[in-house]
Structures are given as structure tokens and as C-alpha cells.
């Protein structure tokens, strides 16, 4: 059986708590996008046949998890790596779903994600792969997740505590400046450890209020302006935790882009996704051309090269289609 898997990127708005003085650590908040996407096609094979890294590695791991001999995997589209769009998680889970689909098996992505080292700190990527939408996860008990995650096999992906569909007319502006990739691997682990050890617990209290009293009501009631204002506040508060690690509340050059875009009436809730350099904002479909123009003007005025695009939120999970 040949199958096609299509799943969009995700934006990560931040964590609900990084302080070890609270009962739960992390608790990711983010949203799924329709595009840009990871698109894969796969069919059964006697061994792993794939010439793209890291997909070849994910395919081998997925075959081992599923107990199958192999897969022929074609990478049709992929996401830029380590820019704040969830490329690693969507690629790993997309490959797992493709291998499972090719062999007519259930991928059970949530259960198997930890074996692929996905969903450790944040469950946003797994949740948006499953069902899309605006999501917040439960995080982990602080006594188990401290400055480093437990060993593999001793943790599960955080449960989703809130999910809301995003209004069909809303659009997310995406600005990808030509800059160094965001942190990952050992560098990310070290930066997160430093951020957790120095986190102010009062910030988590403020973030809880923003999430419960502002963000969730606004997305549920489809009030774009209120959502954007709350999203901007949520991102700024998160950035205070990482200021020493990334050179400011936002990682350069994201901060300059955010400042410039914040002056445009067509864009609300401007912030940085994960470690960047991706910058996002929320707008309406009718205002999208003005938002794009504002972003392009900001890049030009700041002397930066980059890409600007607009994307709808994805209110469903990955599509898995049989091709024959």
C-alpha cells in the first residue's frame, strides 16, 4: 500500500511555567498551521530506502518500533530545520505515520513519540499532529522533570488540557529572517537548564492569568484583537525567562522585527516561535495583504533578508491518504 502523509508546521508560543517552585513544569502552548508542510509518500519495502536525513533515521526507528522490515520513503516537502516551526517533531511523527500506513498499521503517535525522543518538554507538536488547533498541555510533575528530562522510557507526552479550533478567517503572519538556526540538541538542553534554574516563579503566575483569563476566552469567542493582545503579552513574559540565554527578551534579530511589526495596525500579537528566528503575528484574511507589506517593509528597513508568508490555522491533525 502506498500512502501520503501531509501535516503542517506548528508555532510554539511558550511555556506556562519554568520555575521549580511550582508543582508542574513546562506546559506548552501553541497552534497548528496549514502550511508550510511536511509531505511524505511511503510504500512497503524489504529495507529502509530513503536518501534524506533525518527522515532515513526516523524511518529506521519507526520500522523497528512497528516491527516491519522496511519502507521506501519519499520526501515531497519538508520544513526548514530549527527555525521555530516544529520541523523535528513533525518529520519524526510524519515518518512514523507513513511507515505505519504503508503497512496498514496504527501509528499510535502519542504512545510512540517518546521512543522517537519527541514530546519531552512540550506536547504541542504531538497535539497539533494529532488534532491541530490552539492547544495547551499539562506539562510534567516537577519532581520528575527538573533541569533535565528523565531517561527514555520513563516519561510520556504531556496530556492536552485545552484545545480550541481557531476562527477560519484568522491568519498567522510568518517572517523567517535569514539568520542562524535556533537552538537544538545539547545546546538547547543547556539553555533550558539555565533558564529553569533562574526562572522567576512570579512570571508563571502572570502567564497562568494570561492563558486562562485572556487567551483561552479570546480564541473560544473568536475575538482576534483580544487574542492578539494576550498572545503578545504571553510571548513577552516567556521571553524574560530566556533573556540571558538568547541576548534579550527576543533573540536577535527577532526583537527588531517584532518592534517594527508592532506598529502595524494589521498585525496583532507579534512574537517569536520557540528559539526562533521565526517571528509570527496574527491577522485576519482581509488584512493579510497589509500585514505582508508591513513585514516586507520591516525587513527592508532593518537591512535584513528573509521570507514572509501568511497561513491559516490547521484545525485537524495530519492527513494520511491511501494512494493505491
- Output the pTM of the full model: 0.95
**Ranges of the chain whose pLDDT falls below 70:** 147-150, 152-153, 182-183
Query: b/e for 51-87, b at 16 or more Cβ within 10 A?
Result: eeebbbbbbbbbbebbebebbbbbbeebbeebbbbbb
Tell me what pLDDT residue 150 has.
65
Residue 20 CA to residue 277 CA, distance in Å, equals 27
Domain count along the chain: 1
Give the C-alpha distances (Å, rounded to integers) separating 202 from 16, 29, 139, 144. 11, 18, 18, 21
Residue 34 CA to residue 6 CA, distance in Å, equals 9
Please answer whether residues 171 and 314 qualify as being in contact, where contact means their C-beta atoms are separated by less than 8 angstroms: no
Residue 276 CA to residue 246 CA, distance in Å, equals 10
Tell me what pLDDT residue 192 has.
87
User: In terms of residue numbers, what domain contains 106?
Assistant: 3-322
Tell me what pLDDT residue 43 has.
98
Give the C-alpha distances (Å, rounded to integers) separating 269 from 80, 230, 292. 23, 7, 15
Residue 137 CA to residue 161 CA, distance in Å, equals 5
Report the CATH number that the domain containing residue 23 is assigned in CATH.
Answer: 3.30.70.890
In 3-state terms, what secondary structure has residue 1?
A: coil
pLDDT per position as a tens digit, 116-141:
999 989 999 999 999 999 999 999 99
pLDDT per position as a tens digit, 143-199:
877 766 667 667 899 999 999 999 999 999 999 999 877 667 777 888 888 899 999
Q: How many angstroms from the chain centroid is the CA of residue 46?
A: 33
DSSP 80-104: PTTSSS-HHHHHHHHHHHHHHHHTT
Tell me what pLDDT residue 182 has.
66
Amino acid at each position: 500500500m502506498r500512502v501520503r502523509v501531509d501535516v503542517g508546521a506548528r508555532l510554539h508560543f511558550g511555556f506556562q511555567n519554568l520555575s521549580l517552585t511550582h508543582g508542574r513544569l513546562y506546559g506548552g502552548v501553541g497552534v497548528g498551521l496549514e502550511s508550510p508542510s511536511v509531505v511524505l509518500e511511503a510504500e512497503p519495502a524489504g529495507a529502509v530506502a530513503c536518501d534524506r536525513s533525518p527522515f532515513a533515521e526516523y524511518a529506521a526507528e519507526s520500522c523497528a518500533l512497528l516491527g516491519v522490515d522496511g519502507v521506501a520513503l519519499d520526501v515531497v516537502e519538508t520544513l526548514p530545520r530549527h527555525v521555530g516551526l516544529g520541523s523535528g517533531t513533525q518529520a519524526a511523527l510524519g515518518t512514523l505515520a507513513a511507515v505505519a500506513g504503508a503497512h496498514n498499521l496504527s501509528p499510535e503517535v502519542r504512545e510512540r513519540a517518546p521512543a522517537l525522543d519527541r514530546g519531552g518538554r512540550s506536547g504541542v507538536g504531538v497535539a497539533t499532529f494529532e488534532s491541530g488547533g490552539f492547544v495547551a498541555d499539562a506539562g510534567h510533575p516537577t519532581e520528575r522533570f527538573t533541569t533535565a528530562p528523565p531517561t527514555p522510557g520513563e516519561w510520556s507526552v504531556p496530556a492536552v488540557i485545552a484545545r480550541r479550533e481557531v476562527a477560519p478567517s484568522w491568519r498567522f503572519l510568518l517572517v523567517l529572517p535569514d539568520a542562524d538556526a535556533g537552538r537544538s540538541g545539547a545546546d538547547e538542553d543547556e539553555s533550558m537548564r539555565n533558564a529553569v534554574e533562574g526562572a522567576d516563579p512570579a512570571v508563571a503566575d502572570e502567564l497562568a492569568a494570561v492563558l486562562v483569563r485572556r487567551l483561552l476566552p479570546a480564541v473560544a469567542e473568536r475575538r482576534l484583537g483580544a487574542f492578539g493582545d494576550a498572545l503578545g503579552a504571553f510571548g513577552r513574559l516567556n521571553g524574560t525567562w530566556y533573556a540571558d540565554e538568547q541576548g534579550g527578551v527576543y533573540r536577535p534579530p527577532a526583537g527588531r522585527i517584532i518592534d517594527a511589526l508592532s506598529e502595524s495596525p494589521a498585525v496583532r500579537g507579534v512574537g517569536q516561535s520557540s528559539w526562533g528566528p521565526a517571528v509570527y503575528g496574527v491577522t485576519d484574511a482581509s488584512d493579510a495583504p497589509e500585514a505582508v507589506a508591513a513585514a516586507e517593509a520591516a525587513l527592508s528597513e532593518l537591512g535584513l533578508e528573509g521570507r514572509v508568508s501568511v497561513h491559516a490555522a490547521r484545525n485537524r491533525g495530519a492527513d494520511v491518504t491511501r494512494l493505491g
